[in-house]
Amino acid sequence: MPALRPFTDVSTVRPTDDGFAAEVDPEWAVADKPNGGYLLALLGRAAVASVGHEHVITSSAHFLHSPDAGPVEIETVVLRKGRSADHVRATMRQDGQACVEAVLMVGRLADGAPAHWDRGAPPRPAGDRDEGVRVPGTSPTGVPVPVMEQVDLRLDPATLGFAAGRPSGSGELRGWLSFLDDAPFDPVSLLYAVDAFPPATFEIEPTGLVPTLEMTVYVRALPAPGPLTILHRAQTVAAQRVDEATFVWDSTGRLVAQATQLAGIRLG
């Protein structure tokens, strides 16, 4: 069992003369590739530190090149300053090569504000977290997933056909996520949460890595303490790409984040 590397520690950024410096942790990875949501959270920390507002509200990111574990630089450019929100471009580089570029909107989220209307969103999945099956540090195809040793991610047994070699064909995963140190989620760590699940395509047929190419995230509310409930769906697989939609609810049942992403995939 590797040493626990709390998210608050591995997502720290440090101001420099040219922007920010960070260290990509090798344990927050799938195989030897850092988790995309984790990388986006590093950009989120830098964006918040660049402006006067404190919460990431939206992010649109392109994943250009996967960095190795180790030092990275983050450059931020304030595109617009506003009374209620600022817009920031953040670029992660390693050895001079651009790895991730995102435009983020940073503002202030209300605490506990109810949704005015939410019938367009899917219902929060039912189920008992205590009956969830924790995802291990190795995928069904034998790929090491060290990030799963850093979080408590449990899947609804009804969506675990792929683990027994019998995917249901639904392209949907449901389950629960928490940090092993019980740290509460905040708007930046929600950027990781929307990308925490295994590929929803596992419930279609097994594949190798499904790398994220682009991801758009909306943070809708400040999450209450406690485990998150997550619904992760593949929508269309075509031309060796898949788009996936993710919805995240806090422990009170409030929708706190949602995301769509386009990922590369090879299916038969």
Per DSSP, the residues of 79-145 read EE--SSEEEEEEEEEETTEEEEEEEEEEE---SSPPPS--TTSPPPP---GGGPEEP-SB-TTS-B-
Tokens of 131: 């009956």
Mean pLDDT value across the chain: 95
With beta carbons less than 8 A apart as the criterion, state whether 121 and 61 touch. no
Would the pTM of this model clear 0.85, i.e. be above it?
A: yes
Rg (Cα) of the chain, in Å, rounded?
18
Give the angle subtended at the CA of 164 by the CAs of 33 and 157, to the nearest 5°.
Answer: 90
Give the angle subtended at the CA of 36 by the CAs of 124 and 252, to the nearest 5°.
Answer: 25
Q: What is the pLDDT of residue 1?
A: 67
pLDDT above 70 (res 255):
yes
Which residue type does 199 have?
A: P
Structure confidence at residue 14 as a pLDDT band (50, 70, 90): very high
Which phi and psi (to 5°) does residue 211 adopt?
A: -75, 135
Tokens of 231: 């619904």
Which residue type does 217 have?
A: V
Q: What is the pLDDT of residue 2?
A: 79
CA atoms within 13 A on the CB side of 264: 7
Q: What is the pLDDT of residue 139?
A: 82
- From CA 158, how far away is CA 175, in angstroms rounded? 10
Which residue type does 75 have?
A: E
Which residue type does 12 have?
A: T
Structure confidence at residue 207 as a pLDDT band (50, 70, 90): confident
Give the angle subtended at the CA of 248 by the CAs of 264 and 59, to the nearest 5°.
Answer: 60
29, 67, 105, 158, 265 from 202: Cα distances, Å: 18, 25, 32, 13, 11
Q: What 8-state DSSP symbol labels residue 200?
A: G
- From CA 47, how far away is CA 105, in angstroms rounded? 9
Q: What is the pLDDT of residue 143?
A: 84
Of 106-120, 205-219, 246-260, give the lowest mean pLDDT range: 106-120
Question: 15-64 pLDDT, tens per residue?
Answer: 999 999 999 999 999 999 999 999 999 999 999 999 989 999 999 999 99
Nearest to 30 by CA among 214, 209, 265: 209
3-class SS string, 133-161: EECCCECCCCCECHHHHCEEEEECHHHCH
Question: 70-85 pLDDT, tens per residue?
Answer: 999 999 999 999 999 9
Residue 237: burial class (beta carbons within 10 Å; 0-12, 13-18, 19+): middle
pLDDT above 90 (res 111):
no
- From CA 71, how far away is CA 105, in angstroms rounded? 25
